[in-house]
Amino acid sequence: MKRWLGWWDGRPVLLALDVAVAVAVIVVSLTGGDPRDPHPALYVPAVVFSGVALLARRRWPFVVLLAAVACMPAGVTLLPLVVAQYSVAARHGVSVLTGVAVVVAGIAGNVVPVLQNPGSFTLVVVVLGTFVLGPVLAGLWMHQRAVLLGVLRERADEAERTRTLLADRAVFAERRRIAREMHDVVAHRVTAVALQAGALSLRAPDEATGQAAETIRATSALALDELRGILRVLRDAPAGEAEDTGPGVLASLEDLVDGVAATGARVELSLPDPLPAVAGQVGRAVYRVVQESLTNAGKHAPHAAVDVRLEVTGDRLAVEVTNRLTPHGSTVPGSGYGLVGMRERVELAGGDLRTGPTGDGRFRVLARFPVGAEQ
């Protein structure tokens, strides 16, 4: 539909307006004036032609102007000429002077005989001022208004682009500041833990202590690797970068569970075979959900068995981590943002999260993510 309305900027209201103007010009030209005045034989066809030509005034205003001038010898009124002049001025601005010259030349050919009568000069001046100068000035005003609106729109777009650019720069600067803080504080502390755990594993008084120290050292080293990846993202990764799809992150869940089990925790992992192909963001969200759930279980329900289960049902991947509630908690301090951050990460990956007691003395974390075409 809009393709057929290309002359009218895809707006049916403009087409309706042009049709109304054309019909009004034809009706007024055919019914106006004294019916006793004789008209040339081509009067009616010329009136209809000049009126219908007004439908093309937005696309070819100069052509419509020439058609109106050409129909004047047949006795057509000045109404088509007025509309055509306005259209030329509104469309082309100062180049309307060419059209004015055409109009004046056309009118002059019809008014030369009138100049022979006394007082006719004043009449010609009034006609030219009313039917030539008036439409031209109105069209020029509309043209300048359209130009001004276009300039203001461009300035608004430029201001919006500048605002977006400044916001992006501020975000990038804040990300780099956070990266520096994480490197100077968190990375330093984790490195100290890894070094001390490594020293303890070498000087352990017994094998159990050595294994625990080695587990701490390996976990700290893994944390440093992950922290290094986070710092790289904060510093360099462009926003909206495409992510690979595959089961790589899900496969690392086994290493995560083995590392937790090495500390003495009882963790049972159940994975689908084969592992589903998921987006990188979904895979990382699954990994973080399991990691945070195991950490919370170790703090709030130490020595309780933890069941980690991944299942694919249709186009949804369900991650469920459950553990039995115990009255004895841990003295390890927490940030208080574990579940909040977990929920935010899950929602950013397009999933949903449910946490809380199940009613049978267990605590459950259940996250569902889209897989396949839906993701």
pLDDT tens-digit readout, 20-57: 888 888 888 777 655 555 666 777 888 888 888 888 88
Closest to 220 (Cα-Cα) out of 199, 243, 195: 195
Q: What's the pLDDT score for residue 368?
A: 93
Q: What's the pLDDT score for residue 127?
A: 64
Residues of the chain with pLDDT under 70: 1-7, 9-10, 32-40, 95-129, 131, 235-248, 328-337, 372-375
Q: What's the pLDDT score for residue 117?
A: 54
Q: What's the pLDDT score for residue 152?
A: 92
Q: What's the pLDDT score for residue 122?
A: 65
- Give dist(CA 19, CA 54) in Å, integer: 8
Q: What's the pLDDT score for residue 20?
A: 87
> What does the H/E/C string look like for the chain?
CCCCCHHHCCCHHHHHHHHHHHHHHHHHHHHCCCCCCCCCCCHHHHHHHHHHHHHHCCCCHHHHHHHHHHHHHHCCCCHHHHHHHHHHHHHHHHHHHHHHHHHHHHHHHHHCHHHHCCCHHHHHHHHHHHHHHHHHHHHHHHHHHHHHHHHHHHHHHHHHHHHHHHHHHHHHHHHHHHHHHHHHHHHHHHHHHHHHHHHHHHCCCCHHHHHHHHHHHHHHHHHHHHHHHHHHHHHCCCCCCCCCEECHHHHCHHHHHHHHHCCCCCEEEECCCCCCCEEHHHHHHHHHHHHHHHHHHHHHCCCCCEEEEEEEECCEEEEEEEEECCCCCCCCCCCCCHHHHHHHHHHHCCCEEEEEECCCCEEEEEEEEECHHHC
| Contact assessment for residue 23 and residue 79, using Cβ atoms and an 8 Å cutoff | no
Q: What's the pLDDT score for residue 308?
A: 93
Q: What's the pLDDT score for residue 1?
A: 52
